[in-house]
């Protein structure tokens, strides 16, 4: 029997979505095919320290969330490649003694984390330096996907529809807030949405109905980011699609059936997402017509390509309630993976089980790493 592939499940992280990550990770470890994979849970605590967990001990305790054991030894990832044959080696240090423990190793990393410092290219950069195979988007697409302004510029450049918006930097706001307000009235109008460029979970997002509320919304959004999007409000249905890289290298990515989020609040706010159990209805499949589905799928596929995505992404669209027109809203390069999350649910509804989805993602990570290792790093005449 061939040896099992050692999958380091990286979870937790220093973002506001830490707790969601613990839930996503719990579902991932429960669904990974243990006939093929050995699970190594590596937790990143809220301070940013990495902990190497004893899998059997931790996995026995997994419920809705995968816990973090703060007494577990710390992981030190080398900032350079380690042996290719026996996987990536990491050093473990016990907090108490600081003595290095024997080297441990894994074959591939599955980052199951969301938000800044988790899916924005920073972790991906660290994994690139260590020359590790990892699931999902690389540095560039992760970083671009996290910045709603840069993502929209590339999407617009690819000829895909977006809602009109302007991006306002903190410095511009301090210098010329009255000009910015005139520009918003002229070019965007009210109601509009004010949202931080790099947050998630609707943190700092405001619907502003008139110029009177604009300053307060901007000042709140600026607590979370130094760049803010001011966007025309559309009366829209929220349609999402799951995209998965094709296992046949070079073929078009696969796109799932659509799902719909129907918030019961004025918009899909933080309260509707996390505090109100009945904050939104999640509908899979979305009740849209076949030609509408086809159009939404083609936008999702082209968005995935336009942002240079690899592995997976969830593409969120707005569908205008009056005209039926679709607009790209955002892309999530490490979407939620809980048992009830849209990404795995949309694949289940499209014929790929949660378990198969995880296996496919790991295979894609390994083959991409192998492919990249064959590239020359120096000029070879
Ligand atoms: N232009 C808009 N028109 C109508 N509703 C909007 C608009 N922009 C945002 N919204 C509402 O606000 C919600 C949150 O906005 P958005 O999806 O842009 O950011 P986010 O949800 O914080 O990011 P993430 O999905 O990465 O967590 C949307 O789901 C939608 O309900
Ligand atoms: Mg969103």
For the chain, the structural domain boundaries read 5-136, 146-161+235-333, 165-232
In angstroms, the CA 146 to CA 1 distance is: 42
Ligand 1 proximity of 268 Cβ (cutoff 6 Å): yes
Q: Which residue in 115, 142, 129 sits closest to 15, CA to CA?
A: 115
Low-confidence ranges of the chain (pLDDT < 50): 94-100
Q: Give the β-pairing of 108-112 and 133-134.
A: parallel
Residue 120: nearest ligand to its CA?
1
Measured between alpha carbons, how far is 75 from 8 in angstroms, rounded to an integer? 12
Which residues lie closer than 8 Å to 14 by C-beta, 6 or more apart? 44, 46, 47, 48, 117, 118
Distance 357 CA to ligand 1 centre (A): 27
102: which 2 tokens?
């024997």
Alpha helices by DSSP H, 63-147: 122-129, 139-146
Q: Do domains 5-136 and 146-161+235-333 have the same CATH topology?
A: no
Q: Which among 30, 50, 34, 33 has a CA at the least distance from the CA of 42? A: 50
3.30.470.20, 3.40.1350.10, 3.20.180.10, 3.30.420.40: CATH of 146-161+235-333? 3.30.470.20
pLDDT of residue 183: 97
First-to-last CA distance in the chain?
43
| pLDDT reported for residue 103 | 63
Q: Model's pTM, two decimal places?
A: 0.94
CATH of 165-232, one of 3.30.1490.20, 3.10.20.30, 3.40.190.10, 3.20.20.140: 3.30.1490.20
- Beta-carbon contacts of 35 under 8 Å, excluding residues fewer than 6 positions away, are none
Give the ligand whose atoms come closest to the C-alpha of residue 118.
1
Tokens encoding 368? 């991409």
Q: What 3-state class would DSSP assign to 60? A: coil
CB of 271 closer than 8 Å to CB of 293? no
pLDDT of residue 96: 47
> What is the C-alpha to C-alpha distance for residues 52 and 73, in angstroms, rounded to an integer?
6
Q: Which pLDDT score, from 0 to 100, does residue 56 have?
A: 80
Cα dist from 273 to 17, 199, 281, 282, whole Å: 12, 14, 10, 11
> CA-based angle 68:73:77, to the nearest 5?
100
Residue 267 near ligand 1, beta carbon < 6 Å: yes
What SS3 state is found at 131?
coil
Question: Is there an atom of ligand 1 within 6 Å of 114 CB?
Answer: no
Residue 87 Cα to ligand 1 midpoint, Å, equals 40
Q: Does domain 5-136 have CATH number 3.40.50.20?
A: yes
Cα 100 to middle of ligand 1, angstroms: 46
DSSP letter at 227 equals: E
- Closest atom, ligand 1, to C-alpha of 202: 22
Measured in Å, residue 97 CA sits from the centre of ligand 1 at: 47
DSSP 8-state secondary structure symbol assigned to residue 212: G
Q: Of the candidates 110, 154, 135, which has an alpha carbon nearest to the alpha carbon of residue 305?
A: 154
How far CA 23 is from CA of 12, 65, 112, 264, 290, in Å, comes to: 9, 4, 9, 24, 34
For the CA atoms of the chain, what is the radius of gyration? 22
- Strands (DSSP E) found in the chain: 5-12, 37-44, 50-52, 74-76, 88-93, 104-106, 108-112, 133-134, 165-169, 192-196, 206-208, 227-232, 236-244, 254-263, 280-283, 312-320, 326-332
- Per-residue pLDDT at 82: 67
Give burial (CB, 10 Å; 0-12/13-18/19+) of 269: buried
Cα gap 361→354, rounded to integer Å: 11
pLDDT of residue 99: 46
Pocket test for ligand 1, best of 195, 199, 241, 265 (most atoms within 8 A of CB): 195
């Amino acid at each position: 029997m061939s040896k099992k592939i050692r999958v380091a499940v990286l979870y937790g992280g220093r973002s506001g979505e830490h707790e969601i990550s613990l839930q996503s990770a719990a579902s991932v470890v429960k669904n990974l095919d243990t006939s093929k994979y050995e699970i190594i849970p590596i937790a990143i605590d809220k301070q940013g320290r990495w902990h190497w967990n004893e899998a059997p001990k931790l996995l026995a305790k997994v419920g809705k969330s995968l816990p973090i054991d703060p007494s577990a030894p710390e992981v030190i990832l080398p900032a350079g490649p380690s042996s290719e044959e026996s996987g990536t080696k990491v050093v473990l240090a016990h907090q108490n003694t600081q003595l290095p423990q024997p080297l441990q190793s894994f074959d591939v990393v599955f980052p199951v984390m969301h938000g800044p410092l988790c899916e924005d290219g920073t972790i991906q950069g660290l994994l690139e330096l260590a020359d590790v195979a990892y699931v999902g988007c690389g540095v560039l697409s992760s970083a671009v996907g996290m910045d709603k302004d840069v993502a929209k510029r590339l999407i617009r450049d690819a000829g895909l529809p977006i809602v009109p918006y302007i991006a306002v930097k903190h410095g511009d706001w301090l210098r010329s807030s009255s000009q910015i307000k005139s520009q918003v009235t002229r070019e965007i109008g009210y109601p509009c949405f004010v949202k931080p460029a790099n947050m998630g979970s609707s943190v700092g997002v405001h619907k502003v109905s008139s110029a009177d509320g604009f300053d307060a919304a901007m000042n709140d959004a600026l607590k979370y980011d130094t760049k803010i999007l001011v966007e025309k409000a559309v009366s829209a249905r929220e349609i999402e699609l799951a995209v998965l890289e094709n296992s046949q290298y070079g073929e078009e990515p696969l796109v799932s059936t659509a799902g719909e989020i129907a918030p019961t609040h004025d918009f899909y706010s933080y309260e509707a997402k996390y505090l109100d159990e009945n904050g939104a209805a999640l509908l899979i499949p979305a009740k849209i017509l076949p030609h509408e589905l086809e159009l939404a799928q083609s936008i999702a596929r082209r968005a995935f390509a336009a942002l240079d995505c690899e592995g997976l992404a969830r593409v969120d669209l707005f569908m205008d309630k009056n005209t039926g027109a679709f607009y790209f809203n955002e892309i999530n390069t490490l979407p939620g993976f809980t048992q009830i999350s849209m990404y795995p649910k949309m694949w289940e509804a499209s014929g790929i089980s949660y378990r198969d989805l995880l296996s496919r993602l790991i295979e894609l990570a390994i083959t991409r790493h192998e492919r990249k290792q064959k590239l020359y790093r120096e000029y070879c005449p």
